[in-house]
C-alpha cells in the first residue's frame, strides 16, 4: 500500500482544531426562509456512492481515515466498567497491528476519535484512556428521549464534564421542533452549552422523529445558533437513524452557517452505519459538500460500534485478497 500522504484527502493527520462555537441570538426569519427540495436531495444522495471510485490503496487510505473519525460507542443497558475498559483498549489499538504493518502505516499512532458512553461509565472510560489523548464523550441531557426534568438534564451535563468527559452529546426535546417553539429550543441548547463549559457540545436532533426535511434544516440552524459545536443525526435508538438525505440537508445548513458567520460546525451521523461501503459514501459526501477540512475528526465523527470490524475486514481483504471471519476482528 502507498503510505497515506498528509496532504491528501484521506490523511490520518489532523488539519486544525476548530474554535468553540460562540453561538448567536435566535433569528426566526432565517428559519422562515428555509426550504428543502426533497426530491432533489434524494436524487443527490442516491448518486453519492457512485461519484468517486475508491479502489485499492486509495480506498484503504480513506478507510484508515474513517477509523480516526469513529466515536467508538457502547450505550447498552447492561454496560459495565469491564466492557468499557475493553472498548477503550480497542480505541487505543483500533486496527490489528499486523494489518497496519502490512499497510506500511504502523508508525502513525492510529486511534479512534473518541469513546462514547453513558454518564455512569465516564470515570471508567477516563481512567482506561489516561495519557492516550483519546477524549471521552458522554451522552447526556436525558438521552435518548430528552424529556426528563430540565434542571436534572443540565446537572447531568455538568456532572459528566466534572467526571472528565471532554465532549458532551446532548439530545434535544424533539417536541419543541414539532411544535415550532424555536425560542424554547434555542434556550434549551444554550443552557446545555453553558453547562458543558470547555467541553465540545454535540446536539443530537433525533431526525427520525422530526418529520419533513425542512424541519431537520430548521432544527439544525437553531442548534448551531445556540452554540452547538457539532450537530448529530440520531441517538441510534430511533426507528430511523442516520440516512444520506437527512445528512445532506444538515451538511448544507452547516455550509450556510459557515458562509454567514465564518464558524465551522462539525457533523456526526449515528445509528445504522456498520459497513465500510456506507462510511465511504459519507466521507465522499463530506468532501464534496463541505470540503477537505470536514474529513478530519475535529469536524467529522461517526457514532458506531460495529463499523470498525467491517473496516478491518476490508483492510485484510486489501492485503490478502480474501475476506476473513468476523471473529478475527474483536471489539476488545
Q: Check residue 19 and give its pLDDT.
A: 77
Q: Check residue 12 and give its pLDDT.
A: 46
Instruction: Report residue 56's pLDDT band, with 50, 70 and 90 as the boundaries.
Output: confident
Instruction: Report residue 325's pLDDT band, with 50, 70 and 90 as the boundaries.
Output: low
**Averaged confidence pLDDT in the chain:** 91
Instruction: Report residue 236's pLDDT band, with 50, 70 and 90 as the boundaries.
Output: confident
Respond yes or no: is residue 169 known to be catalytic: yes
Catalytic pick from 65, 90, 202, 268? Answer: 268
Instruction: Report residue 10's pLDDT band, with 50, 70 and 90 as the boundaries.
Output: low
Respond yes or no: is residue 232 known to be catalytic: yes
Sequence-ordered alpha helix ranges (H) in 179-243: 182-196, 213-225
Least confident range from 50-64, 102-116, 151-165: namely: 50-64
The span from the CA of 194 to the CA of 201, in Å, is 10
Catalytic pick from 169, 209, 229, 310? Answer: 169
Matching residue, cell 455538568 = 158
Q: Check residue 246 and give its pLDDT.
A: 97
Mean pLDDT of 110-136: 97
User: 275 with 307: CB under 8 angstroms?
Assistant: yes
Percent of the chain with pLDDT over 90: 81
Instruction: Report residue 15's pLDDT band, with 50, 70 and 90 as the boundaries.
Output: very low
Whether the per-residue pLDDT at 332 is higher than 80: the answer is no
Q: Check residue 48 and give its pLDDT.
A: 79
Catalytic pick from 229, 232, 296, 310? Answer: 232
Respond yes or no: is residue 268 known to be catalytic: yes
* HEC assignment per residue over 62-130: HHHHHHHCEEEECCCCCCCHHHHHHHHHHHHCCCCHHHHHHHCCCCCCCCCCEEEEEHHHHHHHHHHCC
Mean pLDDT of 215-244: 95
Instruction: Report residue 17's pLDDT band, with 50, 70 and 90 as the boundaries.
Output: low
User: 141 with 156: CB under 8 angstroms?
Assistant: yes
Mean pLDDT of 58-73: 95
Whether the per-residue pLDDT at 164 is higher than 50: the answer is yes
Q: How does 271-288 read in b/e, with b if 16+ C-beta sit within 10 Å? A: bbbebbebbbbbbbbbbe
Dihedral sign (CA 225, 231, 235, 238):
positive
Q: Check residue 237 and give its pLDDT.
A: 87
Q: Check residue 14 and give its pLDDT.
A: 43
The span from the CA of 208 to the CA of 239, in Å, is 7
Q: Check residue 54 and give its pLDDT.
A: 74
- Count how many residues are written for the chain: 332
* Residue, of 237 and 204, whose pLDDT is higher: 204
Q: Check residue 194 and give its pLDDT.
A: 97
The span from the CA of 55 to the CA of 53, in Å, is 6
Mean pLDDT of 223-234: 98
* Cell matching residue 69: 473519525
Percent of the chain with pLDDT over 70: 91
Sketch out the chain's domains with CATH numbers.
33-320 (3.20.20.70)
Amino acid at each position: 500500500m502507498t503510505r497515506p500522504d498528509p496532504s491528501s484527502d484521506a490523511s490520518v493527520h489532523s488539519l486544525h482544531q476548530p474554535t468553540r462555537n460562540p453561538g448567536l441570538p435566535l433569528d426566526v426569519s432565517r428559519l422562515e426562509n428555509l426550504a428543502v427540495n426533497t426530491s432533489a436531495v434524494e436524487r443527490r444522495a442516491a448518486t453519492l456512492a457512485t461519484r468517486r471510485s475508491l479502489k485499492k490503496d486509495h480506498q484503504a487510505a480513506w478507510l484508515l481515515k474513517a477509523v480516526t473519525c469513529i466515536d467508538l460507542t457502547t450505550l447498552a443497558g447492561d454496560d459495565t466498567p469491564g466492557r468499557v475498559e475493553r472498548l477503550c483498549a480497542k480505541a487505543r489499538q483500533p486496527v490489528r497491528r499486523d494489518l497496519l504493518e502490512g499497510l506500511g502505516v504502523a508508525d502513525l499512532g492510529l486511534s479512534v476519535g473518541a469513546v462514547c458512553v453513558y454518564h455512569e461509565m465516564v470515570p471508567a472510560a477516563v481512567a482506561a484512556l489516561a495519557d492516550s489523548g483519546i477524549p471521552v464523550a458522554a451522552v447526556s441531557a436525558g438521552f435518548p428521549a430528552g424529556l426528563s426534568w430540565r434542571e436534572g438534564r443540565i446537572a447531568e451535563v455538568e456532572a459528566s464534564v466534572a467526571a472528565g468527559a471532554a465532549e458532551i452529546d446532548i439530545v434535544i426535546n424533539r417536541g419543541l421542533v414539532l411544535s415550532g417553539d424555536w425560542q424554547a429550543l434555542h434556550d434549551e441548547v444554550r443552557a446545555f452549552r453553558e453547562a458543558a463549559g470547555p467541553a465540545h457540545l454535540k446536539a443530537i436532533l433525533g431526525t427520525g422523529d422530526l418529520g419533513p426535511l425542512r424541519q431537520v434544516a430548521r432544527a439544525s440552524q437553531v442548534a448551531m445558533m445556540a452554540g452547538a459545536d457539532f450537530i448529530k443525526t440520531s441517538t441510534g435508538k430511533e426507528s430511523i437513524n442516520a440516512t444520506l438525505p437527512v445528512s445532506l440537508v444538515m451538511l448544507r445548513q452547516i455550509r450556510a452557517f459557515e458562509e454567514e458567520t465564518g464558524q465551522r460546525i462539525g457533523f456526526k451521523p449515528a445509528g445504522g452505519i456498520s459497513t465500510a461501503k456506507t462510511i465511504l459514501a459519507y466521507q465522499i459526501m463530506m468532501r464534496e459538500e463541505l470540503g477537505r477540512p470536514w474529513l478530519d475528526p475535529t469536524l467529522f465523527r461517526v457514532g458506531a460500534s460495529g463499523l470498525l470490524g467491517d473496516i478491518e475486514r476490508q483492510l485484510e481483504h486489501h492485503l490478502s485478497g480474501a475476506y476473513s471471519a468476523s471473529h478475527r476482528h474483536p471489539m476488545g
